Chains A and B, each alone.
Chain A
């Protein structure tokens, strides 16, 4: 119940493509869903986050789509660039907890 299942494990797209990374959860008490981006040799950094009271959130070329009934959320990267090549982690938080539950990560490669 505390898991977040992330797919795919790796993803290769061409520049300008729209990679989509999916996450699913079981715990209906989760109420905060952030995405973190990690470049090689660096620590993860918060990219964008969403609460379940909205179905979509955009920040620049990054969009989170949220489907509460399906208990799924996804990250879309519009007009992807080689500089977006990184590992992306979804996560979820149960209200009142200090503990984020992370997915296993998706390694994205954007070819020029």
Chain B
């Protein structure tokens, strides 16, 4: 496996469910990110981890909870979501946590909240 891998590719969950999104990077990068992509809106940065420490929490509701156990893995734990949380969730990595480093994105998890 190379690059950034996200699982699952699609997820449908009810508003009372708890689920997790998984991301794994095989690039040896030190920073990992979660982005939310909604139609006709800019990509929204949710969380940044650099060397496994969270350095950015972009005013994201507490129903989204990130976890970064090591520099290769990133999780996004979801609970009691709202229908407006339906979107494509993209994981990315970069060599460093500085914005000049190119972002390498996974192919995303398409989340539908019913």
Contacts and interface: CB of A to CB of B under 8 A. Distances in A.
B81 interface: no
Interface residues of B, number: 25
A94 B99 CA distance: 8
B95 interface: no
A102 B36 CA distance: 12
A59 to B, nearest CB: 13
Chain B contact residues: helix, strand, loop or mixed: loop
B103 A46 contact: yes
Contacts of A19: none
Contacts of B45: 99-100
Nearest to B45: A99
B40 A100 contact: no
Contacts of A9: 40
Interface of A: 4, 9, 32, 34, 36, 41-46, 49, 89, 93-94, 97-105
